[in-house]
Amino acid sequence: MTTYFAHETAVIDAGSTIGSGTKIWHFSHIMKDAIIGGHCNLGQNVVVSPKVILGTNVKVQNNVSIYTGVICEDDVFLGPSMVFTNVVNPRSAIIRRNEYKTTLVRKGASIGANATIICGNTIGKYALIGAGTVVTKNVASYALVVGNPSRQIGWVSEYGHRLEFDANGIAICFESKEVYKLINNQVSKKL
């Protein structure tokens, strides 16, 4: 019995694994050996390549291709038309399937519309990648990055709001009231 929804135009290859409560919309393609967790939402024209892993509650907006080598942990948001790569130096005439790099998107991270993530990098938990950003290096947890190439311009809370740290390295998210600490250029949530 199918426990997920797939629009009639979606193509779901045998051998893929799709969690309960997931929704797959128009013209999307889930390839063999892809693993998609429960309660995900994959918009129109999404491609999930073999061996991609998506955690629980991952939101993939329209026109996103997720290539082999990409792992997204729980609660990740992938904005419209954002791009992953999986080979550093692609050439049409040279097969490099054995050179795919792993790209890890940690729990709760959000990647904005039309951003490009160069393969082999890690996006830290709850990081926020601005629309159109080109990520060429690892991104710290809770970092706010923008531009081409990407540069960090601040920090964000788990609710996606900019954090302003005081002289003691403490910031409070105005929406959640959660407290964050900045030590040695690393942010953590105080429990």
Domain residue extents for the chain: 5-86+100-162
In three-state secondary structure terms, 117 is strand
Angstrom distances, CA of residue 34 to CA of 51, 71, 132, 137? 5, 10, 27, 25
In three-state secondary structure terms, 144 is strand
Q: Comparing C-alpha atoms, which of 88, 20, 22, 97 is closest to residue 59?
A: 22
CA distance 3 to 106: 26
pLDDT at 2: 74
Q: The tokens 């490099």 sit on which residue?
A: 96
The number of beta carbons lying within 10 Å of the beta carbon of residue 164 is 11
In three-state secondary structure terms, 188 is strand
Q: Residue 54, Cα to own-chain centre: how many angstroms? A: 9
Residues 71-103 as b or e (16 or more Cβ within 10 Å = b): bbbbbbbbbeebbbbbbeeeeeeeeeeeebbeb
pLDDT at 191: 80
Query: Which residues of the chain have a pLDDT value below 50?
Result: none
pLDDT at 1: 64
For the domain spanning 5-86+100-162, the CATH number is 2.160.10.10
How is 40-81 classified by DSSP, letter by letter? -EE-TT-EE-TT-EE-TT-EE-TT-EE-TTEEE-TT-EE-TT
Q: Comparing C-alpha atoms, which of 87, 160, 177 is closest to residue 125?
A: 160
What pTM, to 2 d.p., does this model score? 0.97
